Chain A
Amino acid sequence: MLSCKDATELMSQRQDQPLGLMAQIRLQLHLAMCVGCRRFDQQMNFLRQATSCREGKSQEPQDTL
């Protein structure tokens, strides 16, 4: 069975390119059973969303664009 450590590597990898079929299946099975890793996956998606919209976000509170 996939360990959480291995699962995190796969989740990171699929931010950059699709996983092979076997890896995808093993990951999905692991995620179905592991809330920690499901949250990790959400966090990876969060990071991707944050970086892709970063430039539009200002740190100045007065900015209301």
Chain B
Amino acid sequence: MESHLPEVLAGIRNDLLRFARLQLRDDAAAEDAVQETLVAAIEAAGKFAGQSQAKTWVFAILKNKIIDSMRRRAREPNIGSYDEEFPASAFDSLFNERLHWNAAERPSDWGDPAQTFEDAQFWQVFDACLDRLPPNTGRVFMMREFLGFDTSEICKELSISPSNCWVVLHRARMALRLCLESQWFQGRK
């Protein structure tokens, strides 16, 4: 099969950059990761089978570059405080005194995901909500959901306890769903 790698790379460069920026929260680091990815992809061009798989394959290279970048930065002495980002009480206002949903906060029906996923505007809102996650919480969530780490791996990489890991992920999801409720779904009834 004829290789169309240069065209594929040109077409997805913006997607790669957006993905890298979301994970790394640092334009320079994201640019570096994408650049290294493009170079690696071109150098290994013989290894991919065809255009349909190229995007997935290039994203796999990018994820590894991002992980390397995150590991380098994790060694920097920036001890983030997860509790400062989302304290234990962060979402208490959603529940009443018996800890059941307040009527106004009850989750709504988000309908058919496939339909929502067709809408390019949804992804803009989704990315904006991801970006709103505070940095340390966001990093844990990204590692779990976008970089394919399981919780024990995240705990090891970031030197946090398993219970902290689950708490951080839970709060990230609580924040994310609230953001999507208000920024996307509430306007669409």
Contacts and interface: CB of A to CB of B under 8 A. Distances in A.
A36 B101 contact: yes
Interface of B: 14-15, 18-19, 55-56, 59, 94-95, 98-101, 106-110, 113, 116-117, 120, 123-124, 126-127, 144-146, 150-151, 166, 169-170, 173-174, 176-177, 180
Given A12-B166, A54-B126, A4 B15 contact: no
A60 B19 contact: no
In terms of DSSP, what is the predominant structure of the interface of chain A? helix
B15 A6 contact: no
B99 A55 contact: no
A29 interface: no
30 contacts: A3-B98, A4-B95, A4-B99, A4-B101, A5-B94, A6-B99, A9-B170, A12-B166, A12-B174, A13-B170, A15-B173, A16-B151, A16-B169, A34-B100, A37-B107, A39-B110, A42-B107, A42-B110, A43-B180, A44-B173, A50-B113, A51-B145, A51-B146, A54-B146, A55-B15, A56-B55, A58-B120, A58-B123, A59-B124, A59-B127
Given A54-B146, A59-B124, A47 B170 contact: no
Nearest to A55: B59
A17 B145 contact: no
Given A12-B173, A54-B146, A49 B15 contact: no
Contacts of A13: 166, 170
Given A5-B95, A16-B150, A16-B169, A57 B176 contact: no
Interface in A20-49: 34-37, 39-40, 42-49
Contacts of B14: 60
B117 A50 contact: yes
A31 B142 CA distance: 28
